[in-house]
Structure 1
Amino acid sequence: MEYVMVFLIGIFATTVGTLAGGGGFISFPAMLILGMPVHSAIGANKVSNTISSFSSFFHLYKKKEISLKECFWIIPVSLGGGLSGGYIASKISGEHMYIIAIILLIFAFITSFKGKGSFTGENRLKMNKFSVPGLYGIGIYDGLFGPGQGTLMFYLFCYLKISYIQAVGLVRLATFSSCFGAAISYIATGKIMWPLTVCLLLGSLTGAQIGVRIAEKLKPRYVKPVLRVVTVALIIQMVVDRLY
């Protein structure tokens, strides 16, 4: 039953994450509630997101919604950020990581209310003083913890006046890069619980394909209110579970 739950969590979280970011708001706390250690829960998310995010990016690439020539530089920038964050996280104890996780989750939730753009811009992504440090910093955050990473990227691309469907593809490529770097760190330090991680991976692959197809027709404003309600419920659950 636990494996089925993790599979379903992967579907739902990645569908939401593909549409508006913040899928980690759902998958990470839910896996903690199921009893997975903090580092193992983060590592499972990194491994599953590496594969699922690339699958949704590749779907948009095949449909020519995004050009690899335009965005290939995202890979080393986000990869470097993910490796840096994953290394930092591996040096923190499970007890401290749990506390930091709750703090970062609340912080990421608050940031989800910032940025009111409509993603109607038509600019192409370019390397500049905002895009490079922005993506690297978010990559570190993704490697260190993760939930809210996609949402923060959406706001960055909105600020850069990138269209919504292109932003979806760019977020998924950046997520693949930073999660790949972080996943290497977690695998190397032996933090991965493979049976549950594989279940989450299979669910995430399914959710990625569902989400990217909905994204071609749906705007993020329809997803964010639901995401915020779920996030509040999970934060409360984490705090209550920790206290009692």
Structure 2
Amino acid sequence: MDYILLFFIGIIATTIGTLAGGGGLISLPAMLVLGMPVHSAIAANKVSNTISSFSSFIHLYREKKVTFKESFWIMPVSLSGGVSGGIIASKISSEDMYIVAIGLLVFAFLVSVIKKGDLSGDQPLKVSGKSVLGLYAIGIYDGLFGPGQGTLMLYLFGYLNIAYIRAVGYVRLATFSSCLGAAVTYISTGAVIWPLTIALMLGSVTGAQIGVRIASKLKPQYVKPILRLMTVALVIQIFLEKVL
């Protein structure tokens, strides 16, 4: 029964995560409720996200929605940001990490309200100070804490006037990059419970394919309300974790 539940949890979490980020809001608490040890639950998330995010990027690449030429540099920037975040995490208290997480998400929410635009831009993704610094900073945040990484990236690509469907593809590529190192680490430490992880991964790959197909048909004016809803949900979850 746990395998079936994890499969459907993977579908739901990754479909939502592909569209607006925040899939971990669903998958991680659900796995903990099912009794998985916390490190094994995180490991399952990282392994499944690595595979599912790459599968969704490849789908969009084959559909010619994104190009590797435009986005190859995302991988080293996100990976180096994640490594930097992991190093910084060892020197920052959990209390400060919660404050950073809430502060970033609230800031992103406010910017989305103040700034016009709805991810309907048509600008190419270029290597610039803003794009590199933004992706590197979010990579650090992912290495430090994690929840809301995909949502923050969608806000960044919206700020850079990238069209939504391309932004989804590039977020998935960045997620693959940041999760790959973590997945390898968890595998090497033996934290992965493979039967449960594979069940979640199969659901996540299915959810990723559903998500990119919905994203390709989603009208840009509906994106920001979904992003804002996920942002509020993330802030509430992080706040409750800090309080409880």
Shorter-chain TM-score bucket reads 0.7 to 0.9
- In 1, Cα distance between the equivalents of 2:193 and 2:73? 32
Superposed, 1:168-179 pairs within 5 Å as: 168-179=168-179
- In 2, Cα distance between the equivalents of 1:161 and 1:152? 14
- In 1, Cα distance between the equivalents of 2:35 and 2:242? 14
What letter is aligned with 2:110?
Answer: K
How far did 1:221 drift?
A: 3.4
Alignment partner of 1:157 is 2:157 = yes
Say if 1:109 and 1:10 are closer, same or farther in 2 by CA, change over 3 A: farther
How far did 1:135 drift?
A: 1.2
How far did 1:8 drift?
A: 1.4
Gapped runs of 5+ residues in structure 2?
none
How far did 1:239 drift?
A: 7.0
Superposed, 1:87-106 pairs within 5 Å as: 106=102
Q: Is this contact kept in 1: 2:20–2:150, CA < 8 A?
A: yes
- In 1, Cα distance between the equivalents of 2:149 and 2:102? 13
How far did 1:60 drift?
A: 0.8
The percent identity for this pair of structures is 62
Q: Is this contact kept in 2: 1:18–1:172, CA < 8 A?
A: yes
Paired residue for 1:128? Answer: 128
Say if 1:16 and 1:81 are closer, same or farther in 2 by CA, change over 3 A: same
Paired residue for 2:69? Answer: 69
Say if 1:88 and 1:227 are closer, same or farther in 2 by CA, change over 3 A: same
- In 2, Cα distance between the equivalents of 1:122 and 1:4? 41
Paired residue for 2:110? Answer: 114
How far did 1:144 drift?
A: 3.7
How far did 1:181 drift?
A: 1.7
How far did 1:183 drift?
A: 1.2
- In 1, Cα distance between the equivalents of 2:87 and 2:3? 28
Deviations 1:63-98 (A, max 9, x none): 111111011011111122234445666x69xxx87x
Q: Is this contact kept in 2: 1:83–1:185, CA < 8 A?
A: no
Q: Is this contact kept in 1: 2:123–2:160, CA < 8 A?
A: yes
The DSSP-based 3-state class of the residue aligned with 2:183 is: helix
- In 1, Cα distance between the equivalents of 2:239 and 2:2? 22
Q: Is this contact kept in 1: 2:48–2:197, CA < 8 A?
A: yes
Paired residue for 1:4? Answer: 4
Deviations 1:146-183 (A, max 9, x none): 22000000111111111111101110111111111221
Deviations 1:116-168 (A, max 9, x none): 23112211111111111221222232234322000000111111111111101
What letter is aligned with 1:216?
Answer: S
The DSSP-based 3-state class of the residue aligned with 2:217 is: coil
Deviations 1:199-244 (A, max 9, x none): 111110010000000001114235346546765785688579xx5x
Say if 1:83 and 1:229 are closer, same or farther in 2 by CA, change over 3 A: closer
Q: Is this contact kept in 1: 2:56–2:209, CA < 8 A?
A: yes
How far did 1:58 drift?
A: 0.8
What's the C-alpha RMSD, in Å, of the aligned pairs? 2.8
Say if 1:237 and 1:179 are closer, same or farther in 2 by CA, change over 3 A: same
Paired residue for 1:182? Answer: 182
What letter is aligned with 2:180?
Answer: F
- Number of residues paired by the alignment? 236
Say if 1:59 and 1:187 are closer, same or farther in 2 by CA, change over 3 A: same
Q: Is this contact kept in 2: 1:22–1:147, CA < 8 A?
A: yes
Q: Which runs of 4+ in 1 moved over 6 A?
A: 99-105
- In 2, Cα distance between the equivalents of 1:121 and 1:148? 22
- In 2, Cα distance between the equivalents of 1:147 and 1:79? 17
Say if 1:56 and 1:74 are closer, same or farther in 2 by CA, change over 3 A: same
